[in-house]
Structure 1
């Protein structure tokens, strides 16, 4: 699910299923713990404001997005769901409100994307 699809989770999932010519996905992830202005299902464009910075949509909560993700599992469109780049605090929040726990928290880390709030001694399991 792309940054701008937080409010369009079901449509984005169905678009992926159509492109993959599949009835279900083994795994579906919330790509980033921030929602941006919607740029259209199936697009990978980032919604940028006039200042060139991501155009954040503060009306969409991560909790709402997660509950829709859980609905994908309940409906059989997806078998497992997870998160990407949630720091320790967002991870704990997600665990508190989730009925279906994230199967994974994928963390991007390299020389230009250091995850200072997530160090090896702070990793936690979701299940």
Structure 2
């Protein structure tokens, strides 16, 4: 298994980006399930729920996996954050995934977008080419609508993604069902120590996306291309050689030993199989301390927050 968390013992695979073709997604899910993964993370915005649903049904109908063995996660898109649209959105996702319920449903991002009635227009643009954020917003109202999905048994748990500490705290103060996790960028260059400490006090876990630096993220998120590659860090490279493990495996092992859930993204079969091979070794305390002492700081998804410089719910 790739991680232990409050939702049960599950394996983790993250399937991101609309740039992945449907066939790449199908191959990735088949490879992952055959390798032992049981946690599939996707989102309405990624536009690959239907491809994932096809493979899930293929494995379920053949008896290769049972539904209770799977942990399926998807996310509420920003265009559907108006409370009255939340159930409409999960209904679309469940139809695409060919499932009766989700194991976890997340609010994808705390900034809502304008909804023009077109469910396919997930990133509405302004005349200047930016994303069109909604002027009216009710984050706590959205959370209440998420809680109603729990009562309807459409999802077994709910959480958030890309939320700030204060936003999670606001929700926890009024929540009937607290978020079980906050899915955020987290790795050795962006360790989220303050977030981890604050959420631990609230009883909320952290799920790390981009745990290996997301080298395959879309070009528009890469900025000018001068960011340092996480996989090339000299400390990680040295430990990779010592243990005979890939740099990605060292990075994943570090986060797992910190008690963080990890969702490495890949559609490459060889890397998918490799990313799960992290339970036959452990990093020593001095090695964990050395990684913890890395001073270099870098966020790979900073452009997401920079696109909403004045919005009250901008998380960073």
Q: Counterpart of 2:126?
A: 49
Q: Counterpart of 2:193?
A: 120
Q: Secondary structure at the match of 1:10?
A: helix
Q: Counterpart of 1:2?
A: 77
**Unpaired runs of at least 5, structure 2:** 1-75, 204-316
**Richer in helix (by share):** 2
Bigger radius of gyration: 2
Q: Counterpart of 1:23?
A: 100
Structure 2 distance, partners of 1:121, 1:58, is 30
Structure 1 distance, partners of 2:109, 2:173, is 18
Q: Secondary structure at the match of 2:177?
A: coil
Q: Secondary structure at the match of 1:79?
A: coil
Structure 2 distance, partners of 1:76, 1:122, is 30
Contact 2:104/2:155 (CA < 8 Å) preserved in 1? yes
Q: Secondary structure at the match of 1:17?
A: helix
Pairwise CA distance, 1:69: 0.2
Structure 2 distance, partners of 1:45, 1:121, is 31
Instruction: Please identify, of 71-80 and 52-61, the stretch whose mean Cα deviation from structure 2 is larger.
Output: 52-61
Contact 1:2/1:44 (CA < 8 Å) preserved in 2? no
Q: Secondary structure at the match of 1:121?
A: helix
Residues 6-63 of structure 1, C-alpha deviations (whole Å, 9 max, x = no match)? 021101100111111111111100000010011533x363111112222111322110
Structure 1 distance, partners of 2:134, 2:165, is 22
Structure 2 distance, partners of 1:32, 1:69, is 14
- Confirm whether residue 33 of structure 1 aligns to residue 33 of structure 2: no
Instruction: Please identify, of 57-66 and 80-89, the stretch whose mean Cα deviation from structure 2 is larger.
Output: 57-66
Pairwise CA distance, 1:108: 2.2
Residues 46-90 of structure 1, C-alpha deviations (whole Å, 9 max, x = no match)? 111112222111322110110000000001111100000111111
- Confirm whether residue 82 of structure 1 aligns to residue 159 of structure 2: yes
Q: What RMSD in Å do the two structures reach over aligned CA positions? A: 2.2
Structure 1's 120 and 44: CA in aligned 2 closer, same or farther, altered over 3 A?
farther
Contact 2:158/2:180 (CA < 8 Å) preserved in 1? yes
Instruction: Please identify, of 32-41 and 59-68, the stretch whose mean Cα deviation from structure 2 is larger.
Output: 32-41
Structure 1 outlier segments of 4+, above 2 Å: none
